[in-house]
């Protein structure tokens, strides 16, 4: 079920989404004093303001593991790195106490790294994830033009390597099945074009990741948007 939360502007969206994600983390951590929570967030341009707002929320951040739903195969200092965005925005203020679990290891190759993450225990399956979406309907790094597309949307493995044709950089990404298994799932979008892409995906099944996610989810997907 899609739950729409619409805001007048990006600032209002960012604050409201930060409140909702903090609440989802609190609900997860209420499972007991030994319970940890795994939060996976997106990169790209959209989440900067939201991540900065989330960094100030009052939470037992020392019990939170933070990772990404996807990253680009670049160094952690590259301007295109989603890990760099995380470091520059979320991992400050109260959230500086969180544990960060990076995805990219340039000593390896994306497919090898995905295999290693799939064999390891951490990052665990996210309890809370905040997705973004491109105007081509990709979410995380599930690109329909990538040679790995069919396997990324059908595999039961959690992490997949992706080589998009049109977008820059090889990627590592959560698979569709991993996104479908997230208990508290949010989507952050802004602008008329992205709203139109989402509306089309809600109306009819299509060959992109957001459409597949909406078509198959059995849980609530909370969409935070502004015009
Ligand atoms: O490549 C990516 O794109 C999407 C959307 O990014 P945006 O710049 O349009 O906000 C993002 O959600 C994903 O994490 C990123 O790697």
CA distance 194 to 208: 13
CA distance 174 to 159: 5
Region of 169 please: left (phi>0), alpha (psi -120 to 50) or beta.
left
Q: Helices 192-203 and 209-216: crossing angle, nearest 10°? A: 50
Q: Per residue in 81-133, pLDDT tens?
A: 999 999 999 999 999 999 999 999 999 999 999 999 999 999 999 999 999 99
Assigned token pair, 136: 């081509």
Q: Tokens 């990538």 appear where? A: 146
191 pLDDT tier (thresholds 50, 70, 90): very high
Residue owning the nearest CA to atom 10 of ligand 1: 46
Mean pLDDT of the chain: 97
CA distance 96 to 13: 23
Residue owning the nearest CA to atom 2 of ligand 1: 44
State residue 205's pLDDT score: 87
State residue 40's pLDDT score: 98
Is the CB of residue 37 less than 8 Å from the CB of residue 46?
Answer: no
- Ligand 1 centre to CA of 42 (Å) is 7
Higher pLDDT, 223 or 227: 223
- Ligand 1 centre to CA of 133 (Å) is 6
State residue 221's pLDDT score: 98
Domains detected in the chain: 2-226 (3.40.50.1360)
- Ligand 1 centre to CA of 30 (Å) is 31
Report the DSSP pairing between strands 171-174 and 99-100. unpaired
Chain-centroid distance of CA 226 in Å reads: 18
Within 10 angstroms of residue 108's Cβ, the number of other Cβ atoms is 14
Say yes or no to pLDDT of 150 above 90.
yes
Ligand 1 atom closest to residue 71's alpha carbon, by position in its atom list: 16
Say yes or no to pLDDT of 19 above 90.
yes
Q: Which of 17, 42, 80, 197 to mutate to test the pocket of ligand 1 (most atoms within 8 A of CB)?
A: 42
Average pLDDT over residues 152-162: 98
Average pLDDT over residues 56-62: 98
* Rg of the chain in Å (alpha carbons): 16
Q: Per residue in 165-178, pLDDT tens?
A: 999 999 999 999 99
Say yes or no to pLDDT of 70 above 90.
yes
Ligand 1 neighbours, Cβ below 6 Å, are 42-46, 70, 82, 132-134, 141
Residue owning the nearest CA to atom 12 of ligand 1: 132
- Ligand 1 centre to CA of 26 (Å) is 26
pTM, two decimals, is 0.98
Q: Could you give the ipTM of this predicted complex? A: 0.98
CA distance 161 to 118: 11
């Amino acid at each position: 079920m899609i739950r729409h939360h619409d805001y007048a502007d990006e600032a209002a969206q960012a604050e409201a989404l930060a409140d909702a994600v903090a609440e989802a983390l609190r609900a997860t951590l209420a499972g007991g004093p030994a319970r940890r929570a795994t939060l996976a967030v997106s990169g790209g341009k959209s989440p900067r303001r939201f991540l900065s707002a989330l960094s100030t929320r009052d939470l037992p951040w020392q019990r939170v593991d933070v990772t990404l739903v996807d990253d680009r195969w670049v160094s952690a200092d590259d301007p295109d790195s989603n890990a760099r965005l995380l470091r520059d925005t979320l991992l400050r203020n109260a959230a500086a106490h969180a544990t960060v679990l990076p995805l990219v290891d340039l000593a390896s190759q994306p497919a090898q790294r995905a295999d290693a993450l799939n064999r390891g225990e951490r990052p665990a399956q996210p309890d809370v994830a905040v997705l973004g979406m491109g105007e081509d309907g990709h979410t995380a790094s599930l690109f329909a033009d990538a040679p790995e597309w069919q396997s990324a949307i059908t595999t039961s493995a959690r992490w997949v390597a992706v080589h998009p044709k049109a977008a820059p950089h090889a990627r590592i990404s959560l698979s569709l099945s991993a996104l479908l298994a997230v208990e508290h799932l949010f989507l952050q979008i802004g602008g008329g074009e992205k709203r139109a892409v989402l509306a089309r995906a809600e109306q009819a099944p299509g060959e992109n990741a957001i459409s597949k996610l909406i078509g198959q989810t059995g849980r609530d997907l909370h969409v935070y948007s502004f015009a």
